Amino acid sequence: MKTYESAENYLETILMLGQHGESVRSVDIANALGYAKPSVSVAMKNLRSKGYITVDGKGHIALTPGGISIARSMYERHTLISGWLTLLGVDKDTAASDACRIEHAMSEQSFSAIRRHIETWKAKPPDGNEEGTA
């Protein structure tokens, strides 16, 4: 199923907030993203209707298997791309910001090629060292 950048951002944020083992609520998402609570509420309603999240009676949000799959994919793309840009000399804030935009627009084919390149470089970097730092 095709998802949109905003939905992917919300799902990735829910995943990241939930990594600490605490319940995720709409207010947590609003605070993390800097969005208005009513906007987040509408987005959560849309994500729930598409089957990406569940919300219990206390307002705790959980990712469904489909939501987890999308969120993990976006998180992997974000961390790999931002780390790669940082290694290329881009400052951390700019790398994170750019990665956030790139992760949604890049095809799976291009992302896989970048991942393979980084893995190959780590195994045998161009300067002849045993292991790269990418």
Indicate the CATH number for domain 5-69: 1.10.10.10
Q: Over the stretch 31-78, which tens digit does the pLDDT of each residue have?
A: 999 999 999 999 999 999 999 999 999 999 999 999 999 999 999 999
What b-and-e string marks burial along 67-97, b requiring 16 or more CB atoms within 10 Å of the CB? bbebbebbbebbebbbbbbbeeebeeeebbe
Instruction: Kindly report the pTM of this predicted structure.
Output: 0.81
CATH class of 73-123: mainly alpha
Please state the domain extents for the chain: 5-69, 73-123
